[in-house]
Structure 1
Amino acid sequence: MLDAAAHILSREGCARFRLVDVAAYAQLRPPTIYYHYASRDDLIEEVMGSGIADMRARVIAVLDDAARRVTQAPNAHP
């Protein structure tokens, strides 16, 4: 459901984001979404929060790798 919502949100934007479109893309009935989310805004917030958390994890991984390389660089040259 979140993947479907993210797809619709990226394609349509916030103003044109409709739960009926999310349900159709996810092959669900629209009431199913309301079982999990009280409103379209709650679903949008979940999608955005999930995307931000994923992006943050990726940035941290890249920075950790870069920091590891920098600290190991002096040992690579005798």
Structure 2
Amino acid sequence: MIKKSSISLPLLYGHPRQYLLHRMKKLAFSISKILIEQHGTKEFLERMPDPFWFQSFGCVLGFDWHSSGLITVVTGVLKTLYYS
């Protein structure tokens, strides 16, 4: 059985601060690397669609928990890490 979840967040406008993005990239790289080493790439990718896990991951990286921009910023950070 597939578990599905959803979450509603307020819509915010603006851009994340550059110093925060720099720190988020470093921390996301380290956390992703550890998760992949310990649990494998498949497990890491299976966690990505879970909105509660993804929201928690963004909070650990230092983004506001209630921000609708968290998904966009964290996805952008992970995309940057993937292509670098």
Give TM-score scaled by structure 2 length. 0.35
Which protein is richer in helix relative to its size? Answer: 1
Give TM-score scaled by structure 1 length. 0.36
Tell which has more relative contact order, 1 or 2 (C-alpha 8 A, sep 6+): 2
Higher CA-based Rg? 1
